[in-house]
């Protein structure tokens, strides 16, 4: 027969376990995260590949969201920002598993060079960019971003 103190200890352990489980669930669902799995080497064309990790991003909801790649490049006498793959198709599809692939060029590794790429996770509805003046200030803080830099 179990004593009252044994039952009390079991109840305390169960409460701690339930609290720990609820904290873990809250942490995994709190905010989306962008993971970059692949970037073409400097000077090459290819696909940037990554994944949006967010428990609220179900396969049914992926078409409501997109990933934007904003490239910062330099060239002699100038430089600037542009979106990939190109202006009118910058809202890149997210697959049902959260993965995405964006055609991008990272080079060459000379005066014409990509300095960094920032990936943004956005909701598609009503989202538009001023394509004549693309720059990071266009992106409100409500959009999640992950930056890749060519600088070591």
Which three-class secondary structure state does DSSP give residue 53? Answer: strand
Residue 152 has pLDDT above 60, yes or no: no
Q: 47-100 pLDDT, tens per residue?
A: 999 999 999 999 999 999 999 999 888 878 888 888 888 777 899 999 999 999
Which has more confidence, 4 or 142? 142
Whether residue 90 is found in the same domain as residue 124 = yes
Whether residue 51 is found in the same domain as residue 100 = yes
Whether residue 68 is found in the same domain as residue 37 = yes
The pLDDT of 7-16, averaged and rounded, is 49
Whether residue 24 is found in the same domain as residue 41 = no
Residue 6 has pLDDT above 80, yes or no: no
Strands 33-38 and 45-53, by their bridges, are antiparallel
The pLDDT value given to residue 14 = 45
Q: 115-137 pLDDT, tens per residue?
A: 888 999 999 998 888 888 888 88
Whether residue 14 is found in the same domain as residue 71 = no
Whether residue 109 is found in the same domain as residue 47 = yes
Whether residue 118 is found in the same domain as residue 132 = yes
* C-beta pairs of 75-79 under 8 Å, 24+ apart in sequence: 75/111, 75/112, 76/111, 76/112, 79/115
Domain count, the chain: 2
The pLDDT value given to residue 29 = 45
Which three-class secondary structure state does DSSP give residue 44? Answer: coil
CATH number at residue 56: 2.60.40
The model scores a pTM over 0.85: no
The pLDDT value given to residue 99 = 97
- Which residues span the domain enclosing 72? 33-149
Whether residue 87 is found in the same domain as residue 126 = yes
């Amino acid at each position: 027969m179990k004593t009252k103190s044994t039952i009390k200890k079991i109840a305390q352990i169960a409460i701690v376990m339930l609290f720990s489980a609820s904290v873990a669930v809250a942490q995994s669902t709190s905010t989306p995260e962008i993971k970059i799995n692949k970037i073409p080497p400097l000077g090459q064309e290819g696909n940037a590949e990554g994944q949006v990790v967010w428990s609220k991003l179900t396969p049914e909801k992926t078409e409501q969201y997109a990933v934007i790649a904003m490239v910062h490049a330099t060239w002699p006498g100038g430089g600037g920002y542009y979106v990939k793959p190109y202006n009118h198709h910058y809202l890149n599809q997210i697959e049902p598993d959260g993965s995405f692939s964006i055609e991008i060029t990272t080079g060459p590794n000379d005066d014409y060079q990509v300095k960094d790429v920032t990936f943004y996770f956005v909701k598609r509805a009503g989202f538009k960019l001023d394509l004549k003046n693309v720059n990071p200030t266009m992106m409100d803080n409500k959009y999640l971003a992950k930056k890749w830099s060519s600088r070591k």
